[in-house]
Amino acid sequence: MRMPVSLILAVVLVAGLFSWAGHVRAQTYDPSYPVCMQLSEWGGSRVDCSYVSVAQCAASASGRSGTCVPNPYFGLGRRDRHY
């Protein structure tokens, strides 16, 4: 049984597109920390949500291309306990 040439080309094209796309890094917003730093780096940007205050984030961002922003997901991972 022979496969049509167009099907083979389509499979090769799709495989090529997936390999060209590379790895995609998820940007995680840790709901445990109130402040995030958005870093602009060569080849893209990333978000680091591991700061307890704006001052701590600003000290880490000093000299880098980082911007401190409030974490939009802060507190969503916690469950309030009612006794």
Residue 15 pLDDT = 62
Question: Residues 6 or more apart from 54 whose CB is under 8 A from it?
Answer: 35, 68
Has residue 4 been placed in a domain?
no
Res. 43 pLDDT band, cuts 50 70 90: confident
Residue 11 pLDDT = 72
Has residue 30 been placed in a domain?
yes
Cα 2 to its chain centre, rounded Å, is 44
Has residue 81 been placed in a domain?
no
Has residue 54 been placed in a domain?
yes
Has residue 19 been placed in a domain?
no
Q: What is the mean pLDDT of the chain?
A: 78
Residue ranges making up the domain that contains 29:
25-75
Residue 47 token pair: 């978000």
How many domains is the chain partitioned into structurally? 1
Has residue 7 been placed in a domain?
no
Per-residue pLDDT at 32 exceeds 50: yes
Query: Which of 7, 50, 48, 46 shows the shortest CA–CA distance to 23?
Result: 46
Q: Are 19 and 13 in contact (CB under 8 A)?
A: no
Per-residue pLDDT at 8 exceeds 80: no
Mean pLDDT for the stretch of residues 24-48: 82
Residue 83 pLDDT = 45
